[in-house]
Amino acid sequence: MSKTIKISEENYRRLLMIISEIQRGKGQRASFDDALNNMELRKENNERNIINLAGAWKDMTDKEAKDFLDTTYSERMVKSRRI
């Protein structure tokens, strides 16, 4: 089944760029559906990528960091004992 949707020119161009990247990588034609799936995979990978957390604690004091780590450690110990 296919549907007609209305998107901005900017988003259309973004999708075309993603389609182009996919086609270069696969060596075969790609669709808008492929582009949307690719965007979702990129999002999931970015959310799980630890490098995205670099610098996240830079404003945290030593005491705040210690408290956080202590709490996290104790919570993990409790969970591991349940298993």
Q: What does pTM read for this prediction?
A: 0.50
Average pLDDT over residues 67-77: 82
**Which residue did the predictor score with more confidence, 74 or 15?**
15
pLDDT tens-digit series, residues 42-54? 777 666 667 777 7
pLDDT of residue 78: 63
Q: In which band, very low, low, confident or very high, does the pLDDT at 80 lie, cut at 50, 70 and 90?
A: low
User: What is the three-class DSSP state of 4?
Assistant: coil
The token duo for 52 is 């995205």
How wide is the angle at C-alpha 82 spanned by C-alphas 70 and 67, nearest 5°?
10
State the average pLDDT over residues 42-69: 80
